[in-house]
Structure 1
Amino acid sequence: MQFHRVHIEVTNICGLACSFCPPKVNSSKTMSLPFFEKVLPQLSPYTKTLAFHVMGDPLTLSNLEEYLHLAQKYGFEVELTTSGYYLGKTKIQTLFHQAVRQLNISLNSYNKNSLNMTFDEYIDTVLAVCSKKMQHYPKPFINLRLWNLDDICSEAHYNRMLFDKLSSHFDTPLDENEIYKNKVKSIRLASKVLLHFDNYFEWPSLNSTHESDGTCYGLKSHIGILANGTVVPCCLDGDGVIDLGNLNETTLESILASKRARDMIEGFREFKAVEELCKKCSYKDKFSQTYI
């Protein structure tokens, strides 16, 4: 069993309250360095890429560099995902540590919060980080995420401000109408700097009225490990509803070989959602369409 990446939640603290994210159910928690190091050898047979995110923002950690050092020590590459709010408070050497292969910045976080910074302060910091990468750090990618597209163009005003700033900084035309009309997925702004588009999505919830079968990349391309050690089948189960086991109590090998995990894998092969949360998840429907 091989995964493209394992989402390991080094912290579930993000410091913001984006309206598109569900309220956090679990207590605020940061994974201790000793536990993090204990887990890393167990991940080696399954992946070479760690994403420091399920819920939470890794840039809230003052000692993030220590986690990156350990990841590098055990031969992993790391993806960092951030709202961008803490970019100015994080050393550039940490953002582009040798272990970091990609920095994901969620640009749609700004206008979904009441932040004590102006739009220009926010985006200018993002652009400064992009410039530093282009000048001094050729290895990592920067993925600027704008996952707020919808059929009614509800965020058109905010996106227009973003496009103006990005177009000017990167000297790249961004046609708002074309992006919406043609459902553009990504635009290259510079070498290894991409602007990535997607739609708003509904986080899976047991309270959802949605119900469907289908397939999913959970337990196929990735798994998640929450800050408290709980292993979950996908990166959208931030509450640990599908608790496959806890690495404080057992091994990852045992968890992945468990009946519950195997039943999910077999179910997805047959386009069947075994777990209740999976039935309620509408995000999986986009994957099912690719198999038709």
Structure 2
Amino acid sequence: MFLNLRIQDSTLEKHHHSIKPFLETFEVISLEALKSQDCTRLFKKGFLNIQKTFKWSSLNALNPLNQLAKSPYCYGLIEQIAILSNGVVMPCCMDMQASISFSNLNHTPLKDILKSQKSTAIKTHFLKGEVLELLCKNCSYPLIRYKK
């Protein structure tokens, strides 16, 4: 298991006062050096990734540009999941409001959550390049990922 922390490139300067002490805690890299890299190792299985800036998903605004994304549509439930501090499991970190939550680790084992009908359906459709959830249809992250 790996821990991948992400920060958008456009926020490095804006939040340097918060990021610099964080980096100093891990004693791995300076903020100036971080700006020229895509990723830095914080510890054995922990990384800080610099992500190209994108617009966060919204349930209210459909993103027609998502038709440019190719299969698989998303890494959610394929290579990653998100777990909120209260134990709620979701397909990815873009769901800040937990609108696509599955269950809570405090009540249900992770293997059961990942085998649930809802999570299996979402994953199966992502593997086909299809989207079930409205939030996913509005997400611009696939566009950023495929611009690399």
Question: Could you tell me the TM-score, scaled by structure 2's length?
Answer: 0.67
Q: Is the 8 A contact 1:216 1:288 kept in 2?
A: no
> Distance between the aligned counterparts of 1:224 and 1:50, measured in 2?
11
Aligned to 2:45: none
Q: What is the 5 A alignment of 1:156-235?
A: 166=32, 187=36, 198-211=51-64, 212=66, 214=69, 215-235=73-93
> Distance between the aligned counterparts of 1:198 and 1:223, measured in 2?
17
Deviation of 1:187 after TM superposition, in Å, equals 2.6
- 1:216 alignment partner AA: C
- 1:187 alignment partner AA: S
Pair 289,263 (structure 1): closer, same or farther in 2 beyond 3 Å:
farther
Pair 265,196 (structure 1): closer, same or farther in 2 beyond 3 Å:
closer
> Distance between the aligned counterparts of 1:248 and 1:225, measured in 2?
11
In structure 1, which of residues 259, 264, 267 is the aligned counterpart of residue 125 of structure 2?
267
Aligned to 1:279: 137
Aligned to 1:110: 15
> Distance between the aligned counterparts of 1:230 and 1:128, measured in 2?
28
Aligned to 2:24: 129
Deviation of 1:255 after TM superposition, in Å, equals 0.8
Pair 197,242 (structure 1): closer, same or farther in 2 beyond 3 Å:
closer
- Render the CA deviation track for 1:177-211: whole Å, top value 9, x for unaligned: xxxxxxxxx635xx969x97653211011011314
Deviation of 1:226 after TM superposition, in Å, equals 0.8
Pair 224,127 (structure 1): closer, same or farther in 2 beyond 3 Å:
closer
- 2:105 alignment partner AA: L
> Distance between the aligned counterparts of 1:231 and 1:109, measured in 2?
30
- Render the CA deviation track for 1:202-255: whole Å, top value 9, x for unaligned: 101101131445511111221011122210000111210101111222111111
Question: Could you tell me the TM-score, scaled by structure 1's length?
Answer: 0.37
Pair 207,260 (structure 1): closer, same or farther in 2 beyond 3 Å:
same
Q: Extract structure 1 runs of 4+ deviating beyond 6 A.
A: none
Aligned to 1:252: 110
The structure with the larger Rg is 1
Deviation of 1:257 after TM superposition, in Å, equals 0.4
Gaps of 5+ in 1: 1-46, 52-78, 83-105, 112-121, 134-140, 145-165, 171-185
Tell which has more relative contact order, 1 or 2 (C-alpha 8 A, sep 6+).
2
